[in-house]
Amino acid sequence: MSYSSPSQETRHPSSSTTMTEFVSPLGPLPYIPDDLTLPQFILDSTHGCRPSRRPQGTPWLIEDATGRKVGYKEIQSRVSGLANALSLKWAIAENDVVCIYSPNHVDYPTIIWAVHRLGAIVTGANPSYTPEELAFQVSAAKAAVLVVHPDVLERALVAAQQVGIPPHHVIPIGAIHGPVSSTVAPDLDQLIDYGLAHRPNFVERRLSPGEGKTKVAFLSFSSGTTGKPKVGNLPHDKKRVDDMLLFERQAVEIPHYAPIANIVQMATCWKINDDSVPLESRRIRQGDIALALLPFYHIYGLIVNLHFFLFCGISIVVVPRFEFVKFLESVKKHGATHLLMVPPMVLLLCKHPATKNYDFSHVRLLLCGAAPLSADLTETLTSILPNAHIGQGYGMTETSTTVCMFPLSQKIGTHGSAGQLIPGVRARILKEDGTLAKVGEPGELCINTPALALGYLNNEKATAETFIGDRWIRTGDTVIIDKNNDMFVVDRVKEILKVRGFQVAPAEIEGHLLQYPEIIDVCVVGFPDDYSGEVPLAYVVLSADAARRAAQSGVEATKIKDSILKHVSDHKAPYKRLAGVEFIDAIPKNASGKLLRRVLRDKAMNSRQRRSLTFTKAHL
């Protein structure tokens, strides 16, 4: 296979037709171990792509608020103690699931690796989830134990009760006080001390050759690449509601091999341990410090910000949540050299008046992902971060994150580009007529990568629709790969919205809205927003009585809209809440009953309609 050109002509194994397949121009992929768990790879082994961590006292993790430094030996000890406690107290073992419901915490990786030492599986939940949303994930993943930050303990206990998990299976990450402390499990520090004080109760899971490709490490919840419910023709039938709820979030089964492969792919792309790269051109150097702004429950934060950077020898400053002015202070206090961000964060960095009060000359890398970054913002960034490599990446939960990154040859990534295919990735671009696109032609991106997930848990239909052929996946994104190997995301085939980098399935919100008594049909579309990228806007068909009241009185119409907004905000995480509600006589559909979202997106973008939209930005 040649790596010197952006594409090559190949023969499809099942046909005689010639097709265009794009391959990475960034070099062949080295050996990826397939008999290691993720903690064995990160904590116990070496690899040719991995630099040594010098000096030996360099911390692995730094707590943002206190400056507490956690080194390798302490991490190893805490992982062993917690694994033993989980085995002793709850008999956590092979293929059991532990849910982490917490913002970023210095012990978050300790929990992950302790669970993996036992052969068990981790599912990370968004700490902004309501009890109902958390209960959905815990139930779908069949989690046996919840590890919970004290700030969200109350919500976690409500969710646990809903799914039948007893309070003593809820582990607080930090110390708690009050009556509830006697009902829940001992806190994390107490459990670690308990585990270290007792003889080992488990034998660490060892994988046979090739088993890493099938042994599940994470159940990472995603809205899938389509988010398309199979709807009935009747607008308010129970089947549509049930199908929408079924498709709202999918548990992606990620084997240990997938993140390990992605780490090796990214390290190869950036030539992390290549002595031939001059010091001034290296993206990673000894003594580098990265802020972990991205949530560890999200695949981007979990694999790139945490595991990849630790593999590279970077010290990670663990930031519980992104608050802009505090973020600026953290950059200054820790002398951060590396920032991984999403476009809303970048927008604040470029436009917030507080930015001008800080010196960013020590920042050497800003990587932006999760949604496209405009050329204008990139230009502004170059003046704010004068010494930084700045560019974008592209990935998804189903590919265990990264598919494209801006290459080492570009200090500033090509404007508007998501980067270039990283080593080991093959791509085909499917045109609307079913043929494959060539260089410069748009179409839906299909990916083959060693970091591919196994599929969606307990959903063969969704898996079959997305995971195709021999380890290929349809991404749902329309892209172009140009003659310089740069990939540009130009549109979306899929219906998933990207709100501040988070995936939001319109079907999930629609299913919830259809439970509102005065809505008989609904369609949710994305509307452009400078801060969030896009926000959900609902077009609703009201019942005859509600429509009559709304038509007769503007006050009554506003009252109904506010009630609908509250119906969503009371039950959904903030980034899923509606930015606006518009009344419509009928939802446009095709003959088979499929919602014609593009018609309503175009309607929303009409300048006259745009001025009349009722937005509620306070929730964003």
All residues at 6 or more sequence positions from 372 whose CB lies less than 8 Å from its CB, including other chains: 343, 392, 416, 418, 489
More confident residue, 616 or 251: 251
Confidence check: pLDDT of 94 > 50? yes
Q: What is the arrangement of strands in the sheet containing 365-368, beginning at the earlier edge strand?
A: 69-70, 61-63, 315-318, 289-292, 338-341, 365-368, 389-396, 401-405, 420-421
> pLDDT at residue 558 above 70?
yes
Q: Which of 439, 349, 352 is nearest to 385 (CA)?
A: 349
- Tens of pLDDT along 350-393? 888 999 999 999 999 999 986 677 777 888 899 999 999 999 99
Residue 229 pLDDT exceeds 60: no
The CA distance from 205 to 109, in Å, is 18
pTM of the model: 0.82
What are the phi and psi torsion angles at 310 (to 5°)? -65, -40
pLDDT tens across 577-594, in order?
999 999 999 888 764 455
Residue whose C-alpha is closest to residue 479's, from 22, 25, 28, 29: 22
Comparison of pLDDT for 185 and 618, the residue scoring more: 185
pLDDT(4) > 60: no
Mean per-residue pLDDT over the chain, rounded: 87
Residue of 79 and 433 predicted with greater confidence: 79
Instruction: Give percent above pLDDT 90 in the chain.
Output: 68
- Rounded to an integer, the average pLDDT of 114-129 is 97
| Alpha-carbon distance values, 6 to 471, 483, 486 (Å) | 21, 7, 9
Give the pLDDT confidence score for residue 324 in this predicted structure: 93
Rounded mean pLDDT of 324-337? 97
**Could you name the CATH architecture of 497-619?**
2-Layer Sandwich (3.30)
| Model pLDDT, residue 590 | 60
**Burial readout 459-474 (b: 16 or more C-beta within 10 A, e: otherwise):** beebbeebbeeeebbb
Confidence band, pLDDT 50/70/90 cuts, at residue 204: very high
Name the maximum alpha-carbon separation found in the chain. Answer: 75
Distance CA 610, CA 601 (A): 11
% of residues, the chain, pLDDT over 70: 88
Asked whether the CA dihedral 334, 339, 342, 345 is positive or negative, the reply is positive
Residue 12 CA to its chain's centroid (Å): 32
pLDDT reported for residue 489: 87
β-partners of residue 366 are 339, 390
CB atoms within 10 A of CB 615: 14
**Structure confidence at residue 242 (pLDDT):** 45
φ, ψ at 429 (rounded to 5°): -115, 110
**322 pLDDT exceeds 70?**
yes
Nearest to 400 by CA among 457, 463, 473, 500: 473
The predicted structure's pLDDT at residue 222: 80
Q: What is the pLDDT of residues 123-159, one digit of tens each?
A: 999 999 999 999 999 999 999 999 999 999 999 999 9
The pLDDT of residue 379 is: 85
In the three-class reduction of DSSP (H, G, I as helix; E, B as strand; rest coil), residue 137 is classed as helix
**Do 231 and 243 meet the contact criterion of CB atoms below 8 Å apart?**
yes
Q: What is the pLDDT of residues 279-292, one digit of tens each?
A: 888 999 989 999 99
CB atoms within 10 A of CB 79: 24
pLDDT the model gives residue 2: 29
Lowest mean pLDDT among 87-91, 245-249, 460-464, 534-538: 245-249
Segments making up each domain of the chain, as ranges: 7-52+258-457+471-492, 72-220, 497-619
Per-position DSSP letters for 70-95, written without gaps between them? E-HHHHHHHHHHHHHHHHHHH---TT
Q: What is the mean pLDDT of residues 388-399?
A: 95
Distance separating alpha carbons of residues 281 and 261, to the nearest angstrom: 24
Beta strand segments in 1-74, E: 7-11, 18-23, 61-63, 69-70
CA separation for the pair 471, 447 (Å, rounded): 8
**pLDDT for the residue numbered 230:** 33
pLDDT tier for residue 182 given thresholds of 50, 70 and 90: confident
Is the backbone peptide bond immediately before 353 cis, with ω within 30 degrees of 0?
no
Cα dihedral 253, 259, 261, 262, rounded to 10, equals: 110
The half-sphere exposure of 339 on its side-chain side, counting CA atoms within 13 A, is 29
Q: Considering only the top CATH level, what class is 7-52+258-457+471-492?
A: alpha beta
pLDDT at 416 over 90: no
**Residue 232 or 356, more confident:** 356
Helices (H) and strands (E) counted in the chain, each on its own, are: 19, 28
Positive or negative, the CA dihedral 182, 184, 188, 194 is positive
Q: CB of 480 within 8 A of CB of 442?
A: yes
CA–CA separation, 111 and 314 (whole Å): 20
Instruction: Report whether pLDDT(16) > 50.
Output: no
Element (H, E) at 97: strand 97-101
Q: Among the CATH numbers 3.40.50.980, 3.20.20.20, 3.40.50.80, 3.40.50.1450, which is that of 72-220?
A: 3.40.50.980
Bridge partners (DSSP) listed for residue 147: 100, 171
pLDDT band at 232 (very low <50, low <70, confident <90, very high): very low
Given this model, what pLDDT does residue 223 score? 62
Q: Which amino acid is at 281?
A: S
Reported as a single tens digit per residue, the pLDDT across 471-504 is: 899 998 889 999 999 999 887 666 778 888 787 8
- Strand 315-318 relative to strand 338-341: parallel, antiparallel, unpaired? unpaired
pLDDT of res. 7: 42
Tokens 């509620």 map to which residue?
616
**Whole-number Å distance between alpha carbons of 260 and 494:** 28
* pLDDT of 231 above 50: no
Check: CB of residue 27 under 8 Å from CB of residue 1: no
The per-residue pLDDT for range 21-36, each reduced to its tens digit, is 999 999 899 999 999 9
pLDDT tens profile 436-472: 999 999 999 999 999 999 999 999 998 999 999 888 9
Same CATH topology for 72-220 and 497-619?
Answer: no
